Structure 1
């Protein structure tokens, strides 16, 4: 006992030191809340957007008539026409080419189901839609691109 301000008081009690393996609340260590960074998700929609974007940029750089044209992506057309389900719609007055993702992906013929052939199918649809916009043959749009085949 110690003397303080005229009264007897007990020495201050210090808390027992916890072992280092315990956390702030006396519990054992837990796994961290934040995981290590995960690789970015690679979805079918993102791959479709990337294929359309790269083909559109190639066509814009090769053809000045396409520089002001907007390439848009929609899931499905509003309705089918006499020829079946359209894969794209071209509007020359609005300077717009709309590509429909689901008909292109689901109804496009693939003789081999892998990423390369899927990308070639999507790029082919972009080339055919741009050719329809320009009223040309799709093979005329990028002859040097196909020269090695």
Structure 2
């Protein structure tokens, strides 16, 4: 391997002094020069095709659930939700202090807008995922969290914001 082509005669080799002579005599190539892995299989392609549902990651699917809930509320409430930002964050800030004090972690937060900033509703992915067992429960809980914090922002009860709020559990 030539590392600096502008300096004539400067070469760097990736092999040890004793093993390089034996490998060169035997005709074997070094590990870095192999085109296949040690089991002879070579590089593989994508494990999942983009058309299959498993191609998307859990965080991407969670983002889609939050987006679906936000779009549902936007369709029902229209202009009152114009300019509201919906965000997904992994964990709430200061989670260590919350756990140490014995307080349960919030599933989301509402940040009011001010001085040119739009109001923001944030859903904490890890907290919501840990509270659910199945995908259906996750979808319902994500929607309920979005509805709760949107209702807090608008100053109305969550039941008036969305008629199916918490009715799926009964």
Could you say whether these structures have the same fold, taking a TM-score greater than 0.5 normalized by the shorter chain as the test?
Answer: yes
- TM-score tier after normalising by the smaller chain length: 0.5 to 0.7
Unpaired stretches in structure 2, ≥5 consecutive residues: 1-43
- Which has the bigger relative contact order, CA under 8 A and spacing at least 6? 1
Q: Residue 144 and residue 114 in structure 1: after superposition, are their counterparts in 2 closer, same or farther (change >3 A)?
A: closer
Does 2:144 correspond to 1:124? yes
Q: Could you tell me whether the CA contact under 8 Å between 1:79 and 1:85 is conserved in 2?
A: no
Correspondence for 2:72 among 58, 82, 85: 58
**Structure with greater helix percent:** 2
Q: Distance in 2 between matches of 1:78 and 1:142?
A: 28
Aligned residue pairs total 116
Unpaired stretches in structure 1, ≥5 consecutive residues: 1-32
Alignment of 1:47-126 (within 5 A): 47-63=61-77, 64-80=79-95, 83-93=103-113, 94-106=118-130, 108=131, 110=132, 113-126=133-146
**Structure showing greater Rg:** 1
Q: Distance in 2 between matches of 1:86 and 1:34?
A: 40
TM-score scaled to structure 2, two decimals?
Answer: 0.56
Q: Could you tell me whether the CA contact under 8 Å between 2:91 and 2:124 is conserved in 1?
A: yes
Alignment of 1:9-24 (within 5 A): none
